[in-house]
Amino acid sequence: MAKPCGAAPDALAVVDRLDAAQSREALDALALDYVRRAGFDGYYYIRYDTGVGFSSLDHRPPAWLDHYRREGLLHADPVTLRVCAEVAPFRWEEAFAGRRHDLAWMRRYLVSRDYGLAEGFNVPIHGNGFDRATFCVFGADTRRFQEALRAHRGAIKALAHSFHNAYERLHRSSPPPLTLSPREVECLHWAAEGKTNGEIADILSISANTVNAHMAGAARKLGTATRIQTVVKAIALHLILP
């Protein structure tokens, strides 16, 4: 639950504490406390790794994330597309501006308000090569969100970059992540959508035997015995989106 605007602690003090954090759990607690005391309802951070997948700390409602996956919104999400293409921070409504003519898409996305996601402000972060990350604050109440953003926009931008640097530091000190090939990720994504191997083969324009091989390879890397176990573990490890 967001607290009244202006109640946030000193941003520089929080940045110092982020720099000293020794775990992702500590980073998460510091960031969540700050954004809620600033008047926002929550935040999410997503780090996209070229050829690997993504990792995240995400406080959006699980029911919304399930809807987002079920409706296939990722592949046409203007927020994600803008994060990957631009470096300037933006509000969600700025990203939606070019999609307002697509009424079917807008109807699917605007139900986000029913899940407490009326407003959002993303700070894109571009690393080496094609690696990308984003830090986003969000809120359910438009007026309160706008007041919080006016009061803390600059601080949120500074927090986002400090959070990312701290996350990167911890990421580099962690054991090498389990990685799947791009094709294994694609096959698991469509398996998570409920597609059969034959349907996945048609979607990706490859043979069913090739899909079987990719699914078997993913299961071997993840140490799983069944298709469902493989999909569930890949989601739990943030190798595919939920």
Separation between Cα atoms, residue 155 and residue 150, nearest integer Å: 10
pLDDT at position 105 over 70:
no
pLDDT at position 227 over 70:
yes
Is there a domain that residue 242 lies in?
Answer: no
Percent of the residues in the chain that have a pLDDT greater than 90, as a whole number: 52
The pTM of the full predicted model, rounded to 2 decimals, is: 0.69
pLDDT-based confidence at residue 161 (cuts at 50, 70, 90): very high
Q: Are residue 154 and residue 194 in the same domain, yes or no?
A: no
Specify which residues 137 forms β-bridges with. Answer: 43, 121
Q: What is the pLDDT of residue 66?
A: 83
| Domain-ending residue, one of 173, 203, 219 | 173
pLDDT at position 216 over 90:
yes
Q: What is the pLDDT of residue 20?
A: 92
pLDDT-based confidence at residue 209 (cuts at 50, 70, 90): very high
Separation between Cα atoms, residue 85 and residue 233, nearest integer Å: 30
pLDDT at position 49 over 90:
no
Is there a domain that residue 1 lies in?
Answer: no
pLDDT-based confidence at residue 237 (cuts at 50, 70, 90): confident
Highest mean pLDDT among 63-67, 96-100, 101-105, 145-149: 145-149
pLDDT at position 149 over 60:
yes
Separation between Cα atoms, residue 121 and residue 137, nearest integer Å: 5
The sheet carrying 119-126 orders its strands as 53-58, 42-49, 132-139, 119-126, 90-91
Where are the alpha helices (H) located in the chain, listed in sequence order? Answer: 11-20, 24-37, 62-70, 78-85, 92-96, 103-110, 142-173, 182-192, 197-204, 208-222, 227-236
Is there a domain that residue 91 lies in?
Answer: yes
Q: Which domain CATH number covers 198?
A: 1.10.10.10
Q: What is the pLDDT of residues 24-43, one digit of tens each?
A: 999 999 999 999 999 999 99
Q: What is the SS3 assignment for 222?
A: helix
Separation between Cα atoms, residue 163 and residue 157, nearest integer Å: 10
Task: Report which of residues 137 and 223 the model is more confident about.
Answer: 137
pLDDT-based confidence at residue 151 (cuts at 50, 70, 90): very high
| Domain-ending residue, one of 125, 155, 173 | 173
Which domain covers residue 76, as residue numbers? 11-173
Is there a domain that residue 241 lies in?
Answer: no
Q: Which residues contact 43 (CB under 8 A, 6 or more apart)?
A: 31, 32, 35, 57, 59, 135, 136, 137, 138
Q: Are residue 113 and residue 225 in the same domain, yes or no?
A: no
Q: What is the pLDDT of residue 171?
A: 78
The residue-averaged pLDDT of 108-136 equals: 86
Separation between Cα atoms, residue 116 and residue 5, nearest integer Å: 18
Q: Are residue 106 and residue 136 in the same domain, yes or no?
A: yes
* Number of domains within the chain: 2
Is there a domain that residue 144 lies in?
Answer: yes
Task: Report which of residues 55 and 192 the model is more confident about.
Answer: 192
